[in-house]
Amino acid sequence: MDHNPNSSKAGRKSAEKNRRNQMKALYSKLNSLVPHQPPMEMVSLADQLEGAENYIKKLQQNLEEMKQKKNCLMELYSSNSSSKISINSNPGEPIKIPNIEIHVSGSALDVVLITGPDCQFMFTETIRILHQEGAEVVNASYSVTDRSMIHTIHSKIGECALEYEAGRISERLRKFVYGVN
């Protein structure tokens, strides 16, 4: 058997070069799927992989939130009669879930959000909207009943143009909860 060490060494070099080229092409393809990335030459391979990992985790989190939202909406629309609850202030008057009440007193803005038990995203989105609008969330709490969650959020709004800010925030929260445009 003729065993040439040079041809064996050249074969290994060629195989390694092909493997590196294939990995480079795969890294490049992965990097192209991650949005808003600087050109590949400017970012280390480790940073590219970390960016892709973070992007995938963000997509997984978004998917989970969307599944939660879908389940909540399916629950709300599938059972019109069972989606009504009675609130203690008006026991004879059922309120359709979700519901939001907004109370303004001076610079205090209090929000009462009533949702189904699978609608946690509505609470987090309400907090996000308040922050976006410049309201400072002072306290937030919730109560759970058999078919609903009652979230209470106490916040403060700026001293300038209180009525305008409160009106804008109220309108935006109602649009979110009731889907009114």
The CATH 4.10.280 portion of the chain extends over 5-78
Taking alpha carbons only, the member of 80, 77, 62 closest to residue 124 is: 62
Considering the domain 84-178, what is its CATH architecture? 2-Layer Sandwich (3.30)
pLDDT tens for each residue of 163-179: 778 888 888 888 888 87
pLDDT of residue 75: 65
Taking alpha carbons only, the member of 95, 96, 150 closest to residue 119 is: 150
Give the residue with greater pLDDT, 92 vs 14: 14
Both tokens assigned to 120: 């946690």
Q: How confident is the model at residue 162 (pLDDT cuts 50, 70, 90)?
A: low
pLDDT of residue 85: 41
pLDDT of residue 145: 81
Q: pTM here?
A: 0.51
pLDDT of residue 82: 44
CB 125 within 8 A of CB 81: no
What b-and-e string marks burial along 126-148, b requiring 16 or more CB atoms within 10 Å of the CB? bbebbeebebeeeebeeeeeeeb
The CATH 3.30.70.1150 portion of the chain extends over 84-178
- Mean pLDDT confidence for 52-59: 89
pLDDT tens for each residue of 106-153: 889 999 998 887 777 889 889 999 998 889 999 999 888 877 889 999
Give the CA distances from residue 44 to residues 21, 36, 51, 78, in Å, rounded to whole numbers and listed in that order. Answer: 16, 15, 11, 50
CB 150 within 8 A of CB 143: yes
pLDDT of residue 117: 77
- Mean pLDDT confidence for 31-35: 82
Considering the domain 5-78, what is its CATH architecture? Irregular (4.10)
pLDDT of residue 80: 41
pLDDT of residue 89: 45
pLDDT cut 90: percent of the chain above it: 19
* Residue 102 φ then ψ, to 5°: -125, 125
